[in-house]
Amino acid sequence: MKNIKIATVFYVILGMVIGGLMGFYLLKKTNEPASVNEAEHIEHKEEAASTIKEVALNEAQYTASDIVLGGFSMKNLSDVVNANGYTKLPPQNQADISVHLSGVVKTINVIEGQFVKKGQLLATLESLEYAKLQEAYLTSKSNLEFLALEYDRQKILSDENVNSKKVFQRTKSDFEIEKARFSSLQKQLSILNLGHDKNAASAMPVIASISGYITEVNVKIGSNAEVGKPLFNIVDNSKLHVDLLVYEKDLGKVKAGQNIRFTLTNQDNKEITGKVFNVSKSFENDTKSVAVHADITNNNQVLIPGMYVNALIDVGTREVKALPAEAVVKADGKEFIFILEEEHEDHEHEEADHDDAKVHSHNYEKAFHFQRIEIKTGTAQLGYVQVMLLQQIDSDTKIVLKGAYYIQSHLLKSEGGGGHQH
């Protein structure tokens, strides 16, 4: 009987142990998924918080940063032909000012870089040859007047058979010779810009043949002006165009009427536009490239001949949303842009004691809050990059086009402590 009781107690204890072990195992299996899901939720929450961040700048910081706000630009960044070239001026808009008769420089009325108009006096030269030429002109003019009268008189006498035909023919010949000489002297004086008045002068003016800027002054007071040697150089940059070199493989894509966009090497990224007006029909020198000539349509910058340019020729029409490359910042292997939130007025609360009475004051200061959002970039050309948004923003949202890295630096400071961050 005693053995039966001991066996019963043993089996009861064994059952309790097995039940306890099974309960512990089930409880552990129930708790494990909950802990894993909670960890994943926390991880996703932290990742979301790491990509959406906000930076606040006060008005002084905003002004000092030179931040530029704007929106997306529609750009053709893929259906294009890349080309390099330079600015060029047609020969019709360049002038070398020289003389047809040598002389000594008496006065110089212009300096390099000065704008002059067509017909403006640039300098004066002196020479005895000028006075002799004018003297010959005035003498010929007087002789022509006399011979004209004599010609008319001899013609009447010849018609009335008073004088012989031989005398009339000699008079007519002298008149025609003097007439030709007078016309020649008159044209010479006109070319030399010398006057036709009665007083012969020894000074000759040098006149600008086109309007433009003086680029070279090759003489000085007292120097001898030689025939055919340029005294001044003038350029008219208003007709400046661009010559682009396009290689043979892309030649079939380019034609007149296509739009071009270009930027100046070693200068800011301001885009200048133009339109192709002619494609050359021969290769340039020994290269396998052809010159493509394009007019400039928005010349708001100071351009001079010979500037090197990087250009895109639009051969298609596929446009994408693009931003300046400097609008995109990179952090933690990702790409971001900053957008401006609604302006805030941050205020500081001050409390002071005046004669045991507490005085409350509020100082309001304008603040600019910028939110960083993640994006993906695509094709980049001429300082612009294709941007694809990973979250929806309003069409009128102001995007930071310039100054994004300045804002990013403030964000890094705030992450280090002491800054404003959401």
Looking at domain 94-235, its CATH class is: mainly beta
Q: What's the mean pLDDT in 329-340?
A: 90
Give the per-residue pLDDT at 26. 52
State yes or no: pLDDT of 90 exceeds 80: yes
pLDDT tier for residue 417 given thresholds of 50, 70 and 90: very low
Please spell the DSSP secondary structure of 343-384, one letter per residue. -EEEEEEEEEEETTEEEEEEEEEEEEEEEEEEEEEEEEETTE
Q: Which residues of 143-181 are buried (b: 16+ CB within 10 A; e: fewer)?
A: bbeebeeebeebeeebeeeebeeeebeebbeebeebbeb
Q: CA neighbours within 13 Å on the CB side: how many for 233?
A: 10
Q: Which amino acid is at 377?
A: T
Lowest-confidence range among 12-26, 106-120, 147-161, 167-181?
12-26
pLDDT tier for residue 338 given thresholds of 50, 70 and 90: very high
Fold for the domain defined by 54-74+320-416: 2.40.420
Which of the two residues, 353 and 321, has the higher pLDDT score? 321
Q: What is the pLDDT of residues 29-39, one digit of tens each?
A: 444 444 444 44
Lowest-confidence range among 50-64, 220-234, 241-255, 372-386?
50-64
Fold for the domain defined by 80-89+240-314: Elongation Factor Tu (Ef-tu); domain 3 (2.40.30)
* pTM of the entire predicted model: 0.58
Question: Mean pLDDT in the chain?
Answer: 80
